[in-house]
A and B are shown apart, each in its own frame.
Chain A
Amino acid sequence: MPRNEINIPDKVEYISILNEDGELDKALEPEIPEEFLLRLYRTMYLARKFDERLLSLQRQGRIGTFPPISGQEAAHLGAAAALLPADWFVPAFRETAAEIWRGRSLESVILYNNGFNEGVGIPEDSNDLPISVPVGSQILHAVGLAWAARYRQTDAVAMAFFGDGATSEGDFHEGLNFASVFQAPAIFLCQNNHWAISYPRSKQTRSKTLAQKALAYGMPGIQVDGNDILAVYAAAREAVDRARSGGGPTLIECVTYRMAVHTTADDPKRYRSEEEVEQWKKRDPIARFQNYLIDKGVLSEDKITGLDSKIGKEIQSAIDRSEEQMKSLGNPIDMFEHTYAEIPPYLKEQKEAFARELAEKGKEEDHG
């Protein structure tokens, strides 16, 4: 019996369009209207400033623990920018710039990070899912949404976000397999930020890339410089167009870096070096995009200064509004809402007993 090589004709490409200095590969430059480029820049800038402000609020004890996004703005925003509003956006929990792009308010982020689930309430006209904490589990929902969108003969697609750690989860593999078997119009967007809390990408898998895992499921996989928003956008656009036109799912690996902590409860000094972080600072996605826009003549130092002051005010007013809003959200009885369409009898009894307890407590405090 012969021992022959099986010819698997697939390959994995890597795309980078802007280098670390913001210099452009003209041949690959996607055609993006100026206004759209500026909106992207503004959203990245806002998301970064907001992230920094949230970190300081957390350190002051004014919000709870949260997962910062600094360094990953291009990876998730560039991908989400390739979606239409009617497409399904299926986040993990480190996609704040994309959520802002899709219309999520800053105050809702603050509310959520202050322990109010009112902060992930989704507007009626939005096709965005609330954040999903159990790693990788949301990937399957995108498959179901994408399948359903096609069943209903719409041209909507679904895009699921997750990190490098999620590619070790069973749901990642099951999700990619199902999407490919059913040719669901789904895009799987991996933000490979190199660290799953303390566990490095190099140990997460022996695969050379995460993108190549797509090949085992019979779908295209592509690796992208995740700190280059033009490259991410171009790759996502291609995948979205393919899905929309019936060409099935794609896995995109955005190679990026988590510049800050995993969450504010984490101390990265325990597992990674300052030198590594310094190396990645040089590849900052915002600085790179900024240089490109300045070279292109659509952005200037003056405009940036103006934007900086506007964004500062926007963030401050969101903080003020959220603090105002939280004053009316204190009633713990609200925690009984939205468990079922209709509250079952025994739960109603529990809610009523709790209401009596609250009333009695109120009286005791009045007299105390």
Chain B
Amino acid sequence: MAKMTMVQALNLALQQEMGNDDSVILLGEDVGVDGGVFRVTDALIDQFGDERVLDTPLAESAIVGMSIGMAVYGLKPVCEIQFSGFSYQNFHQIENHAARFRWRSQGRYNVPMVMRTPYGGGVRALEHHSESREVYWAHTPGLKMVIPSGPRNARALLVSAIRDPDPVIFYEPKAIYRAFREEVPEKEEVIPIGKSQIVREGQDLTLIAYGAMMRPTLEAAVTLKEKHGVEAEVIDLLTIAPLDDELFVQSVLKTGRAVVVHEAPRSFGAGAEIITRLMEKAFYYLEAPIERVTGFDIIMPLFSREKAYLPDAQRIVRAANKVMSV
């Protein structure tokens, strides 16, 4: 096994899937010769040629709309939108068409495409380069919304996303693209879409997070144990939609307490849905009101203030202690 960054692991997933299946086509801005601005598609054009790795003109709607046509034909396009902040220029193609073709054609056509895009703060970038708007997609029937949290699960989830018969929005937490390495097996590995994972076991409290927020959440779990004697169970959602409520509901039935963490704005965020499911399925087991640690309901600040905006371990520990104090 090789130690890889998330960028390298995603590249491995693309390279292997392209090798396995000639219906996998990459397209997007700078994905070919340049290998993507974050180098996720590095050197794939050398191996597969410009018929399989398409550098496109600068137009998000066309990148996605063309992908939809390819997918309806039966290919498996994986398109890259350079930053999620620019994906609103193709929002209508995903909402009006990618998500609906199966339904509209009564099952005759499906759209097995993946829209990969980096999201989230923490890289000191310009406006539109740092936000988290996963719920736009998660709120759209017909779509799947996936967010990995590390190199190994990123690779395994991207393979599943490419093979999925429905359109998958694949958000890549750019803050951790190169932040750490993990062992990633050369041999094929998949994680089913729609399944979350317990990444740390505990019985006092359940912490639910995903994407780049997994690191501060796990850090908080360590602090909670070491400084406060609290054993937190940590759940990595991995898929935002369709949301796997089984695992976190089981966990809260055991712990009776929960904190949900996301960097996206607070109101109507994934936390609102997670907490509602807990109200529906675990209400009588709750020992304390559920807390959420989230971004604020403001425009993502420019980078001089983004650290203040983003949830960190300290903020998560504070919320956990509040929940534990009831």
**A118: B residues at CB distance < 8 A:** 106
Partner of A151, one of B51, B61, B71, B242: B51
C-alpha spacing A133/B96, complex, angstroms: 9
Q: Are A129 and B72 in contact (CB under 8 A)?
A: yes
Q: Are A137 and B92 in contact (CB under 8 A)?
A: yes
Q: Are A182 and B102 in contact (CB under 8 A)?
A: no
Using a CB-CB cutoff of 8 Å, which residues 177-194 of chain B contact chain A?
194
Q: Are A338 and B54 in contact (CB under 8 A)?
A: no
Q: Are A122 and B108 in contact (CB under 8 A)?
A: yes
C-alpha spacing A95/B61, complex, angstroms: 24
Say whether, besides A143-B65, A144-B65, A120 and B73 are in contact (CB < 8 Å).
no
Chain A 325-368 against B: per-residue CB contact (8 Å), 1 yes, 0 no?
00000000000011111001111000000000000000000000
Counting chain A CB atoms within 10 Å of each CB, the highest count among B51, B65, B103, B106 belongs to B65
**A141: B residues at CB distance < 8 A:** 65-66, 68-69, 72, 97
**B44 interfacial by beta-carbon distance below 8 Å:** no
Residue of A nearest to B73 (CB): A148
**B243: A residues at CB distance < 8 A:** 346
Chain B 247-286 against A: per-residue CB contact (8 Å), 1 yes, 0 no?
0000000000000000000000000000001000000000
Say whether, besides A144-B65, A147-B70, A137 and B93 are in contact (CB < 8 Å).
yes
Q: How many residues of B contact A (CB 8 A)?
A: 47
Residue of A nearest to B64 (CB): A140
Chain B 69-86 against A: per-residue CB contact (8 Å), 1 yes, 0 no?
111111101000000000
Interface segment among A169-177, A207-215, A241-249: the answer is A169-177
C-alpha spacing A147/B194, complex, angstroms: 32
Say whether, besides A174-B65, A177-B59, A344-B242, A137 and B106 are in contact (CB < 8 Å).
no
Partner of A339, one of B57, B75, B142: B142
**B104 interfacial by beta-carbon distance below 8 Å:** yes
C-alpha spacing A341/B109, complex, angstroms: 11
Q: How many residues of A contact B (CB 8 A)?
A: 47
Q: Are B242 and A347 in contact (CB under 8 A)?
A: yes
**B77: A residues at CB distance < 8 A:** 144
C-alpha spacing A337/B72, complex, angstroms: 19
Counting chain B CB atoms within 10 Å of each CB, the highest count among A120, A144, A337 belongs to A144
**A14 interfacial by beta-carbon distance below 8 Å:** no
Q: Are A143 and B109 in contact (CB under 8 A)?
A: no
Say whether, besides A137-B93, A174-B62, A175-B62, A121 and B108 are in contact (CB < 8 Å).
yes
**B104: A residues at CB distance < 8 A:** 117, 120, 130
**A146: B residues at CB distance < 8 A:** 69
C-alpha spacing A170/B93, complex, angstroms: 12
A132 to chain B, nearest CB (A): 7
**B244: A residues at CB distance < 8 A:** 345
Residue of B nearest to A176 (CB): B62
**B47: A residues at CB distance < 8 A:** none
Partner of B103, one of A117, A181, A347: A117
C-alpha spacing A142/B108, complex, angstroms: 17
Q: Are B72 and A123 in contact (CB under 8 A)?
A: no
**B294 interfacial by beta-carbon distance below 8 Å:** no
Say whether, besides A129-B109, A132-B97, A151-B25, A338 and B103 are in contact (CB < 8 Å).
yes
Say whether, besides A132-B97, A145-B69, A338-B102, A140 and B61 are in contact (CB < 8 Å).
yes
**A171: B residues at CB distance < 8 A:** 61-62, 65, 93
Partner of B108, one of A124, A137, A177, A344: A124
C-alpha spacing A140/B106, complex, angstroms: 21
Q: Are B74 and A148 in contact (CB under 8 A)?
A: yes
Partner of B69, one of A120, A124, A143, A346: A143
A136 to chain B, nearest CB (A): 10
C-alpha spacing A341/B107, complex, angstroms: 8
Chain B 100-114 against A: per-residue CB contact (8 Å), 1 yes, 0 no?
011111111110000
Q: Are B110 and A144 in contact (CB under 8 A)?
A: no
Q: Are A149 and B73 in contact (CB under 8 A)?
A: yes
Q: Are B65 and A140 in contact (CB under 8 A)?
A: yes
B274 to chain A, nearest CB (A): 12
Partner of A148, one of B70, B96, B103: B70
Chain B 102-133 against A: per-residue CB contact (8 Å), 1 yes, 0 no?
11111111100000000000000000000000
Q: Are A145 and B107 in contact (CB under 8 A)?
A: no
**A280 interfacial by beta-carbon distance below 8 Å:** no
A86 to chain B, nearest CB (A): 12
Chain A 138-178 against B: per-residue CB contact (8 Å), 1 yes, 0 no?
11111111111101100000100000000000110011011
Partner of B57, one of A149, A178, A345: A178
Q: Are B92 and A341 in contact (CB under 8 A)?
A: no
C-alpha spacing A177/B25, complex, angstroms: 20
C-alpha spacing A144/B98, complex, angstroms: 13
A347 to chain B, nearest CB (A): 7
Residue of B nearest to A143 (CB): B66
**A297 interfacial by beta-carbon distance below 8 Å:** no
**A306 interfacial by beta-carbon distance below 8 Å:** no
**B71: A residues at CB distance < 8 A:** 144
**A2 interfacial by beta-carbon distance below 8 Å:** no
Q: Are B246 and A345 in contact (CB under 8 A)?
A: yes
Q: Are B65 and A137 in contact (CB under 8 A)?
A: yes
B176 to chain A, nearest CB (A): 27
**A33 interfacial by beta-carbon distance below 8 Å:** no
**A-B interface, 10 closest residue pairs, ranked by CB to CB distance from nearest:** A144-B69, A140-B65, A344-B242, A121-B106, A148-B73, A174-B62, A141-B69, A122-B108, A144-B66, A341-B165
Could you name 11 residue pairs across A and B whose Cβ atoms are closer than 8 Å? A118-B106, A120-B104, A122-B105, A123-B108, A134-B96, A138-B97, A144-B72, A337-B107, A340-B166, A340-B242, A344-B194
What residues make up the interface of A, taking CB atoms closer than 8 Å to B? 88, 117-118, 120-124, 126, 129-130, 132-134, 137-149, 151-152, 158, 170-171, 174-175, 177-178, 181-182, 337-341, 344-347
Other A-B pairs, 18, CB within 8 Å; known A140-B62, A340-B142, A347-B242: A122-B105, A122-B109, A126-B108, A133-B96, A134-B92, A138-B97, A140-B68, A140-B69, A146-B69, A148-B73, A171-B62, A174-B57, A175-B65, A178-B57, A338-B106, A340-B166, A341-B166, A345-B245
